[in-house]
Amino acid sequence: MIIGVPKEIKPAENRVGMTPAGVLEMTKAGHTVYVQSGAGTGTDFYDEDYEKAGARILPTIEEVYAIADMIVKVKEPIEPEYKLIKENQLLFTYFHFASCEPLTKAMIEQKAICLAYETVETPDRKLPLLVPMSEVAGRMATQEGAKYLERFYGGRGLLLGGVPGVPPAKVLVIGGGVVGTQAAKMASGMGADVTIMDLNIDRLRYLDDVMPENVNTLVPNEMTIREAVKDFDVIIGAVLIPGAKAPKLITRDMLPTMKQGTVLVDVAIDQGGCFETSKPTTHQDPTYIIDDVIHYTVANMPGAVPFTSTLALTNATLPYALQLANKGWQKACNENSALKLGLNIVKGDVVYKGVSEAFDLPYVPVEEILNK
Ligand SMILES: NC(=O)c1ccc[n+]([C@@H]2O[C@H](COP(=O)([O-])OP(=O)(O)OC[C@H]3O[C@@H](n4cnc5c(N)ncnc54)[C@H](O)[C@@H]3O)[C@@H](O)[C@H]2O)c1
């Protein structure tokens, strides 16, 4: 198969869909990989690295789209890319269709085969191509919380881990899933006094078993949250209700009860945020202050660490990309139910229920397409 790896053109996106190591695996399997010149520079991979791994370099994005049977990238195509996509071309990337009607309509029109990272789902209901980014965001959340506690940034002037004779900062993590667990792990490793809240008591039981002694668990409700916010120095929001907007767990009226310079890190901002006062920010201008409380609400946190994020993402995507290249998308999806669930739009038909419902578009069961 001919595989194309274009350079991401979404603003501030430095990740790349395939590393030189991925190119080597693809070429070993007999495929040809065309990489756009400069596609990996944001991640510190250069054209020579790709060439050494067996890739051919093309100077423009137009040439990459024109030659490839399968495009492997990171972010959803943006407007200038729409017209480059060919009928029957397989696109393997994040799409998040339900949040973008123009993208959905454009992919239907181009009659592409759109396999979305975010809906690839294993039989045990895990999302293997979303988890790596949650792991990055979770670990980063603590790092950012620690940074903005510094007085220079308006924080309380507190060192997260304290020092002998001086107590550490108190970190509250609301939501003990992938993001919350990684955030708590980092915070406890740095010596903070950590509490994790989650509605799922079985999850709290598990976390209580595996976390170090400086991590406590607590069941959240309005009263416990209202009391807790007065006392914690960093509060990390990491809840997820699949398919729904995040619930507002910290409300505007709680802010004046917090200590001056408390840092709120709302990782759930990509689902609307779990603090009432959260609004999305960017890496260029990541924070704002309301009532002396610092808000860090960057919607694409992993974008700040493209090297780590690219490796984490491609470690997870490459085995699936190889299956698609080796077998073709139809056979690969028929044989792997996780990949099958990744299909969202196929040659003009919407085959993912959530996408058809979001925009009131006709839904075609994916089996009808695969068995054609
Ligand atoms: N900003 C970013 O760059 C970025 C990156 C990755 C993930 N995210 C977001 O981070 C959030 C968490 O993702 P995840 O992968 O950890 O999800 P997850 O499903 O692994 O974990 C979510 C946890 O929240 C808990 N929960 C749900 N409602 C709750 C409530 N009211 N109170 C307390 N706990 C509650 C669930 O029981 C679950 O354990 C999501 O909104 C995700 O989209 C953001």
pLDDT, tens digit (0-9, with 9 covering 90-100), for 116-130 = 999 999 999 999 999
pLDDT-derived band of residue 141, with 50, 70 and 90 as boundaries? very high
Q: Say yes or no: CB of residue 149 within 6 Å of ligand 1.
A: no
Pocket test for ligand 1, best of 131, 134, 279 (most atoms within 8 A of CB): 134
pLDDT, tens digit (0-9, with 9 covering 90-100), for 74-89 = 999 999 999 999 999 9
Is 133-304 the same fold as 2-119+305-370? yes
285 is a catalytic site residue: no
Buried/exposed code over 308-319 (b: 16+ C-beta within 10 A; e: otherwise): bbbbbbbebbbe
Q: Is the pLDDT of residue 360 over 80?
A: yes
**How many A from CA of 333 to the centre of ligand 1?**
28
Return d(Cα 97, Cα 107) in angstroms, integer.
10
Round the average pLDDT of the chain to a whole number and report it: 96
What does the pLDDT read at residue 98? Answer: 85
Share of the chain above pLDDT 70, in %: 99
Q: Say yes or no: CB of residue 115 within 6 Å of ligand 1.
A: no
Q: Is the pLDDT of residue 221 over 70?
A: yes
Whether pTM exceeds 0.75? yes
- Per the annotation, does 240 bind a ligand? yes
CATH architecture for residues 2-119+305-370: 3-Layer(aba) Sandwich (3.40)
pLDDT-derived band of residue 241, with 50, 70 and 90 as boundaries? confident
Q: Say yes or no: CB of residue 176 within 6 Å of ligand 1.
A: yes
Return d(Cα 321, Cα 5) in angstroms, integer.
12
Q: Say yes or no: CB of residue 158 within 6 Å of ligand 1.
A: no
Q: Are 283 and 303 in contact (CB under 8 A)?
A: yes
Give the start-to-end residue ranges of the domains of the chain.
Answer: 2-119+305-370, 133-304
What does the pLDDT read at residue 372? Answer: 76
31 is a catalytic site residue: no
Q: Is the pLDDT of residue 99 over 90?
A: no
- Per the annotation, does 269 bind a ligand? yes
What does the pLDDT read at residue 243? Answer: 64
Q: Say yes or no: CB of residue 218 within 6 Å of ligand 1.
A: no
**How many A from CA of 54 to the centre of ligand 1?**
39
**CATH class of the domain at 133-304:** alpha beta
pLDDT-derived band of residue 273, with 50, 70 and 90 as boundaries? very high
Q: Residues 163-186: what's their mean pLDDT?
A: 98
Q: 343 phi and psi, to 5 degrees?
A: -70, 125
pLDDT, tens digit (0-9, with 9 covering 90-100), for 12-33 = 889 999 999 999 999 999 999 9
- Per the annotation, does 68 bind a ligand? no
pLDDT, tens digit (0-9, with 9 covering 90-100), for 324-354 = 999 999 999 999 999 999 999 999 999 999 9
- Per the annotation, does 270 bind a ligand? yes
Residue 137 CA, closest ligand 1 atom number: 5
Share of the chain above pLDDT 90, in %: 93
**How many A from CA of 264 to the centre of ligand 1?**
15
Q: Is the pLDDT of residue 142 over 80?
A: yes
Q: Residues 280-284: what's their mean pLDDT?
A: 92
